[in-house]
Structure 1
């Protein structure tokens, strides 16, 4: 039985192009390299002596940089092509990360973090368009899933490596290693995904491309994904506080719960997506189902004071994430074929940038003003509105 499971797991990765595997490795190196980000608030308060209010404004500059960078990345991709945008973005990010350590005033750091994240997130729309070009139509959803695995592995490894570097060598070395890692990823990209070497499996040439901004259905998807992101991001802002204050979990226990999310995704997402693709349901159907699971993960937190519901909630959220993100991304890639691909994938990525700007502040204010129980019900209602948006999209698609 174990052998059969192992074979089934490995089979779920078959058929993906070499270029997609290289893109996943570059994404892994790049995401593991951005190890400064998890320690940014500590660095700002302990080493630069900024207040929490200052840190809040700096993180807002971070969010705005992500939003602008994603939009600009889509514009540049349509104008110059995904390859050039990816190369310049990833190398520029490395150089800017190294320079960030020399900024010590509040205003300069706001400007610096805005610029770094802008340069970093220019990469995202270009990467999605490249992923579409390197994938056969029938493999796009699994290709997206492989990139998600790389991102999750990178985000898991990055903080662990960053913590070791800080304790052994200090923050200044962290900025240097962070920047050099991004530059190395850029050099690897230059060598393995150069247009003269990389195979294009699904090249799309549209004579009169449709603007994403005039695509009504895509705007419905944008709004739905913003709502999904606002609810989903509570697991990385207000819910850890809920674990601590209402269930008295230690930081170690909270880390294990959050780590379980990455572990479940790494082990089960690719086989799950391969199995779901064999069923006769649409991508929007799966987005609806994933959102239902996300909503249930919050409702269950109010059902019982038993600590076990936290594990059940985390598993429901992880399943919802594993289903909604790959299929929504694949839906966006399909939609982008008829228009300006960079613009479409920029708008797709911007939905999560908007979620980041809204989710953390809104969640904290709801918890502070109304308590955890009311906050979870309100976010469940937001999940229901998200489901209604997807259902409208499904009806318009039929």
Structure 2
């Protein structure tokens, strides 16, 4: 029985092109080195001694840069190609990370984070467009999932290792490792993968028949709100939760890293089989996104039980399951919705919803926490998760009406 289950698991990884595997490998290398983000709020608060308000504004600068970078990356991918954008973005952001560690004043850090994230997040829409070029149409959702698995496997290794590096070398070690991983991973990509033109989409089952501009696509904008809320909830893992672990339950950086490692292990074990099962059964992407939004909301209702540290583990499991159900299928929904020639713009707006979530999640949450405490913040996150769930039902009805008309 174990052998059969293992074979079923391995079958989910068959059928990918060589380029997709290389993209997954370099993504893993890059994300395994991404140790700064999970500890950024702690670094700013505890090492540089900024106030909650200042930490919130630095995170806003981080998010604004991410939004601008996402839009530029998508627009330029449509104009000059995803390949050039990917190489420029990762190499330059790697060098920039070496320099950011030497900036310690408030306004300089706001500016540095804005510039760094403008460059770094040009990569994300370009990478999504590259999957459309290098993946086969019949396994595009699984290709998106494979790259997400590489991200999460990297995150599984990164935070725990990052906690050990902080204890042994201090925060500067994180910036050196993160920058080096960017440069190494994109160098491997440039050496092994040749540039290829974008492919046309054959997966148009949930697309509008005629869309002149992304700004006229009402369904897509409501979907962006759902993605924004899911990302806003998810980013609590990297902003408020690490501080909550320490302030409420006395967890160390290493213990927080282990909780994030649990998230990565769950994603690695279950996401690809889940996506493979959904593809084989032919379930609609939107139904899965709806369920995932509800599960993510539930994970923060659980955090309202704050008398037992074990609830952190249960909540993390729920967040991880919600992540499995929302993110791979929302990636695929956004890419399948894009008309020919507008893939970069659609994926830019999709990634911008995550950047806006990063701004709102950190700033709003730190304001709520400073005035009302952690419990009100968890309740707020859970409620907006329920709103996103109801929006999914609206999108489903709108898609039916669109096909009828």
In the superposition, the TM-score normalised over structure 1's length comes to 0.87
- Distance between the aligned counterparts of 2:302 and 2:170, measured in 1? 42
Tell me the equivalent position of 1:360: 362
Equivalent of 2:334 in 332, 336, 359: 332
- Distance between the aligned counterparts of 1:295 and 1:77, measured in 2? 34
Shift of 1:151: 1.1
8 Å CA contact retained: 1:89, 1:120:
yes
Shift of 1:19: 1.0
8 Å CA contact retained: 2:153, 2:265:
no
Structure 1 counterpart SS, 2:386: helix
Shift of 1:40: 4.1
| Range that drifts further, 297-306 or 219-228 | 297-306
| Range that drifts further, 112-121 or 305-314 | 305-314
Superposition map of 1:68-83 within 5 A: 68-83=68-83
Shift of 1:54: 4.0
- Distance between the aligned counterparts of 2:97 and 2:238, measured in 1? 24
Unaligned runs of 5+ in 1: none
Tell me the equivalent position of 2:94: 94
8 Å CA contact retained: 1:209, 1:340:
no
- Distance between the aligned counterparts of 1:256 and 1:293, measured in 2? 22
Tell me the equivalent position of 2:271: 269
- Distance between the aligned counterparts of 1:188 and 1:96, measured in 2? 19
| Range that drifts further, 258-267 or 370-379 | 370-379
Shift of 1:386: 0.5
Q: 2:241 aligned with 1:250, yes or no?
A: no
Superposition map of 1:56-135 within 5 A: 56-135=56-135
- Distance between the aligned counterparts of 1:103 and 1:298, measured in 2? 35
Residues paired across the two proteins, number? 392
Structure 2 counterpart SS, 1:275: helix
Tell me the equivalent position of 1:149: 149
Structure 1 counterpart SS, 2:15: coil
- Judging changes above 3 Å, is the alpha-carbon distance between structure 1 residues 49 and 368 closer, same or farther for their aligned structure 2 residues? closer
Shift of 1:282: 0.8
- Distance between the aligned counterparts of 1:42 and 1:367, measured in 2? 15
Tell me the equivalent position of 2:19: 19
Shift of 1:49: 6.1
- Distance between the aligned counterparts of 2:187 and 2:155, measured in 1? 21
In the superposition, the TM-score normalised over structure 2's length comes to 0.86
Q: 2:143 aligned with 1:139, yes or no?
A: no
Tell me the equivalent position of 2:236: 234
| Range that drifts further, 348-357 or 108-117 | 108-117
Tell me the equivalent position of 2:222: 220
CA-to-aligned-CA distance 1:89-110 (integer Å, 9 cap, x gap): 1111122222324445443332
8 Å CA contact retained: 1:290, 1:323:
yes
- Distance between the aligned counterparts of 1:239 and 1:378, measured in 2? 14
CA-to-aligned-CA distance 1:155-206 (integer Å, 9 cap, x gap): 23334444555565565565444333322222211112212xx6x794459x
| Range that drifts further, 338-347 or 176-185 | 176-185
CA-to-aligned-CA distance 1:288-328 (integer Å, 9 cap, x gap): 11112112223344479565544333222211110110011
- Judging changes above 3 Å, is the alpha-carbon distance between structure 1 residues 288 and 103 closer, same or farther for their aligned structure 2 residues? same
8 Å CA contact retained: 1:212, 1:339:
no
Shift of 1:116: 1.3
Shift of 1:337: 3.7
Shift of 1:276: 1.8
| Range that drifts further, 235-244 or 1-10 | 235-244
CA-to-aligned-CA distance 1:242-283 (integer Å, 9 cap, x gap): 55566x363365544333211111111111111122224211
Q: CA RMSD in A?
A: 2.9
- Judging changes above 3 Å, is the alpha-carbon distance between structure 1 residues 120 and 320 closer, same or farther for their aligned structure 2 residues? same
- Judging changes above 3 Å, is the alpha-carbon distance between structure 1 residues 44 and 347 closer, same or farther for their aligned structure 2 residues? same
Tell me the equivalent position of 1:378: 380
Equivalent of 1:387 in 389, 398, 402: 389
- Judging changes above 3 Å, is the alpha-carbon distance between structure 1 residues 204 and 256 closer, same or farther for their aligned structure 2 residues? closer
- Distance between the aligned counterparts of 2:389 and 2:216, measured in 1? 23
Unaligned runs of 5+ in 2: 203-209, 401-405
